[in-house]
Structure 1
Amino acid sequence: MSLLSVKDLTVTLATGSGDAQAVRNLSFDVGHGEILGIAGESGSGKTMTALSLLGLLPYKGRASGSINFNGREILASTKREYRDLRGKEIAMIFQDPMTSLHPMLTIEVQLTEHLLHHRKVSKEAARKVALDLLATVKIPDPAAALAAHPTQFSGGMRQRIAIASALACEPKLLIADEPTTALDVTVQAGILKLLHQLRNDRKLSVMVITHDLGVLSSLTDRILIMYAGSEVESGPTSEILKNARHPYTKGLIAALPGKVKSASKNLTSIEGMPPELGNFPRGCAFHPRCIHAVDSCKNDLPGSLQITASHRIFCPVNPFLSSKEGDK
């Protein structure tokens, strides 16, 4: 049994022009000790998917479907049940650690707060755990770090502290929402290596949310590609990156900087812009930007097509083209 099983998740948000679906009929699993990457452009529904797991949707936002975590249905949880779940069983780290670390409070106060609330330990025991956590995420001189404030650290060090905070109550699932976007390339590599090591050492399940497929290439076991609130392709990381079948996935891969062989060539981009929330096209939402689109794409919702037992797409056009053929 998977640690997390999401079935037909739909997230509806209130907008100025009425209700709009930010996530549409999304289904996926995360296994015990697995790292799943969820990728897509801004507005694809990645973050709303994560927030629905924690009961943190925006005001008047609502979710339907099923979210089964560790053998129990959590979508209908009460506010109190969600408070007990957050941090203790499912934890989240954010793109900018300054949104999750209070600039006026010391690191010790912020790390021990979770422990005192969820694990009911003494202040002395909580401080010892906090020191161990800072050492685990490779913060130099953990004792001095506990007495410091977030503003005294670099962006990379703040993100490591945010990870330590998320790990404080030994959650089973860690959600990392764009954990490296605000960091330079060298620091990014260190954070990704840390997440991979934590998975191995703690048997932790991880969901990594990003718009950058390059971040996922060496970190994740599987990748789920989202567009306009829906899945378009999913499968093992190596298979997705080497043999993508959906035109949108192909476009994301072609846009990776490593695909440019000459400094004189420009980066490849996907023509057009993602649709706005509440204004998704009929049929396949990607059809206005797709070079393979036919008339049926404008009206018919694409069904799931299995490429292999673990690799599927939601696209009826050219489904069995190889990556190379599909790019011609």
Structure 2
Amino acid sequence: MGIEQQLNAGKHLATMRAVVQHRYGPPSVLALSEVAIPVPGSGGVLVRVSAASVHPGDYFVMTGKPYMVRLVFGLRRPRHGIPGMDLAGVVAAVGSDVTALRPGDEVFGWSTAGALAEYACVPADNLVPVPANVSVVQGAAVPTSAMTALQALRKIANVQPGQTVLVTGASGGVGSFAVQIAKAFGAEVTGVCSTRNVDLVRSLGADHVVDYTRTDFTRSEKRYDVILDNVEAQPLAAVRRALTLTGILIPNSGRGGRWLGPIRRIVKARLLSGFTRQRLKPFTSIGKRQDLLALADLLTTGQVRAVIDRTCALDEAADALRYVAAGHTQGKVVITV
């Protein structure tokens, strides 16, 4: 009897393999365990996970640092014991109120209850069909990082054709998508990266590539209408020097301390905005179905593609998160299930 038939018959579902953590801490707190397959609610979808990607936010949630993340994800221990958000797979069953998706549909999106497992329950509005020209591994790499880039460039900066856009961390998860999305919007794009990533960033469509090991973009004469700063390698005051007089700086990073993390940098940016014509606009990306659909269109037309650094097995999740935390990925790290 299949999963859908078991649900309809009200039968107890079998178990699945999942990466589980019972406390905050380093990657060593993760363990591969057998747990019950979750049951979707009326508006939910049970996805048989084919692939799931990890990003720095998953590392912060796993460690519970900065401590501010615990206000959202659980004060003493993670509210959801399975880490991860972004996934792609096949619909195994749907809730009674779900009409847009059916068992057998190939989908990608984000889960609010963990993705590093053989099955995941996902609100139906968090999923869209995987484009025909995109693999599930590529689809799993898209949601959080690409939506962050899209929202920063479209909603926050309102990038227009002919504008100049600079992206730091251009070879990373958010940066690799940002370079391509800015080009799709008609901007003149400059990517900042290390020597080993120059060819990659150029292949993504960047008009200019700055090797930060050789050139400090904040000290050049070039000025940009929009800067998406993904790495916090320079103080805000230095990055502002590279903006036009009315340019927009989007700080999409901020290490800070163990308590507040990026909050300090965000507050500083907002305060500075009150004393200059330049606009400093830190933001928090929020998952939206319409944005995921927009990304699906960009994937379908080939204007955007996911860069995959490496794939790992489910039992290698701890190593994958350690690697992501080091901050030198080329695009995304995907765990295949």
TM-score (norm 1): 0.31
